[in-house]
Structure 1
Amino acid sequence: MIFIAVAIILAAAALGAAFGMSLLGSKLLETSARQPELAPALQTKFFIIAGLVEAIPIMGVGISLILIFVVA
């Protein structure tokens, strides 16, 4: 049962991060096309937020490892 829970956690984290990054990237391109003079500032903010979005799956991997090696 723990392995199924781990698989669900990892799948949800990966799908959520992929969906978040795709929305973030599309909004960056849309806004950069609309106002090109803001592109450098937006790109900086994009990379900061992208790092925060990618932190969520890393936390999911940590929780999964705890479930596998400590609980099981």
Structure 2
Amino acid sequence: MTPAQIEAYVDATSAALGLRLRPDHRAGVLRYFALAAEFAAVVDAVPLTPHHEPAVAFSPVVPREKEQ
């Protein structure tokens, strides 16, 4: 997304949700949204087929310490 598209999206969604962005928070919100859009573009670039199904449940595990 371009910076103008990000601003338009943030403005439209905040208005639709009734959220007022404080002027001192706006730059941070736009910066975070740009970062999130970059992450989404990376995920969106992976080709998926109907064979690729989401997991039924995610079960996190505690990381093990590296063996030396």
Q: TM-score, normalised by structure 1?
A: 0.38
Structure 1 or 2: more helix by fraction: 1
> RCO higher in 1 or 2 (8 Å CA, sep ≥ 6)?
1
Q: TM-score, normalised by structure 2?
A: 0.40
